[in-house]
Structure 1
Amino acid sequence: MNEHQVFVGIGSNIEREFHTRAAYQLLHEHFYDVVVSPVYECPALGFNGPGFYNWVAKFNTQQDIVSIYQLFKQLEAEYGRKDWYKKHCSRTMDLDLLCFDQMICQHPVVLPRAEILNRAFVLKPLVDIAPNHVHPETGCTYQQLWQAFDQASQPIKPVAFEWSTPPA
């Protein structure tokens, strides 16, 4: 089986400390070589609601893209998400597949995810863990994209978040 490198964006604005820790534990239970970015706090975009905790994880897996996508939807449901049809609303746990290797596709999910290029809360954590990784469509590194990004337009604040120890 082939090994794949995957990037996932994680967010929560409902019981966000609890759900951030839960997502961290779940990623360590299901994948290996998990690397996580710092956590950032940012305001809700597109609706009135509590601020979000957002972060990005990178991991390796032999699972295919469909299996990972289905697992993320299952985990979101187990943690109370029922609103997949709503674009802008509060979330207990949001697991967004950002990149799967260098794949560019429309199904089962659009990759690379558009938010990489237009959301500070996605791009900055990517820079933190993979500054020299090349975006599949633009050919630019995440560091280059961040340097060109209008950072003042989307302020994000690092959170001093204490991760629990991953399972052995």
Structure 2
Amino acid sequence: MAQIYISLGSNVDKEHYIRQALIALKAHLIEFEHSSVYESEAVGFAGNNFYNSAIGAQTQIPLPQLCQLLKQIERDNGRTNNDKKFSPRTLDLDLLFYDDVVCDSPAQLPRDEITKNAFVLQPLAEIAPDFYHPTAKQTIAQLWNTYNNPKQKLWKVEFTNP
């Protein structure tokens, strides 16, 4: 069983698409834990605010197939392969960790955004404070406690899990 963490984001019909992602992920993963949902301003482009959260789960799905599954869930929810990196999106599912695997393919692990973006790190710190980041050599709680980017603000929103 692999311990995984996934970041969820949406800025198009946000509540609907985060809810749809959770339903789809719960159908494939076990020992499922979901963080609070946070709202934040778009980073890197002018656009609607995002909803972001993180999930932790266990899986027996091999890494390449898990990456394919996440892309399929995005496509099933209106995401296209032509979406630009910094643009509005119905759903963004980013694999953050797959156990302590460090690689660049089929996904960048651990994901670089973990230490750079509050909208990734804060929800992750909520559900995985003691998880050890294999390249930063710190726990997620330590990374969050030393995070400092006053330009990135986020706030919890009311959200009922499906």
TM range (shorter): over 0.9
Select the residue among 58, 64, 78 that pairs with 1:80: 78
Which residue pairs with 1:98 in the alignment? 96
Q: 1:60 aligns with which of 44, 58, 66?
A: 58
Matched, 1:18 2:19: no
Tell me how many residue pairs correspond in the alignment: 162
Runs of 4+ off more than 6 Å: none
| Aligned-partner SS, 1:152 | coil
16-25 vs 85-94, which deviates more?
85-94
Q: Distance in 2 between matches of 1:29 and 1:82?
A: 22
Q: Which amino acid aligns with 1:35?
A: E
Partner of 2:137, secondary structure, is coil
Relative to structure 1, the CA distance from residue 136 to residue 160 in structure 2 (aligned partners, 3 Å threshold; closer, same or farther) is same
**Which residue pairs with 1:148 in the alignment?**
146
Q: Once the two structures are aligned, what percentage of the paired residues are identical?
A: 40
* Matches of 1:114 and 1:42, distance apart in 2: 19
For residue 124 of structure 1, what is the aligned residue in structure 2? Answer: 122
Distance apart, 1:152 and its partner CA: 2.5
- The Cα offsets for residues 60-117 of structure 1, whole Å up to 9 and x where unpaired, read as 0111100100011111111111145511001101110100000000111111000100
What is the root-mean-square deviation of aligned Cα atoms in Å?
Answer: 1.1
Q: Deviations over 1:18-55 (max 9, x none)?
A: 00110111111111111010000000111111000000
Question: What is the aligned counterpart of 2:28 among 30, 36, 58?
Answer: 30
**Would the alpha carbon gap of residues 145 and 20 (structure 1) be closer, same or farther in structure 2, given more than 3 Å must change?**
same
| Cα distance in structure 2, aligned partners of 1:64 and 1:147 | 32
Amino acid at match of 1:70: Q
Name the aligned partner's letter for residue 64 of structure 2. Answer: V
Distance 1:153 1:133 in 2: 26
Amino acid corresponding to residue 78 of structure 2 in structure 1: G
Matched, 1:113 2:111: yes
Question: What secondary structure, in the 3-state scheme, does the structure 2 residue paired with 1:123 have?
Answer: helix
Q: Which stretch has the larger CA shift, 76-85 or 37-46?
A: 76-85
Question: Could you tell me which residue of structure 2 aligns to residue 135 of structure 1?
Answer: 133
Q: TM-score, normalised by structure 2?
A: 0.97
Task: State the 1:135 CA deviation.
Answer: 0.5
Q: Could you tell me how far apart the structure 1 residues matched to 2:59 and 2:27 are?
A: 12
Q: Which blocks of at least 5 consecutive residues in structure 1 are unaligned?
A: none
- 1:48 maps to which of 43, 46, 49: 46
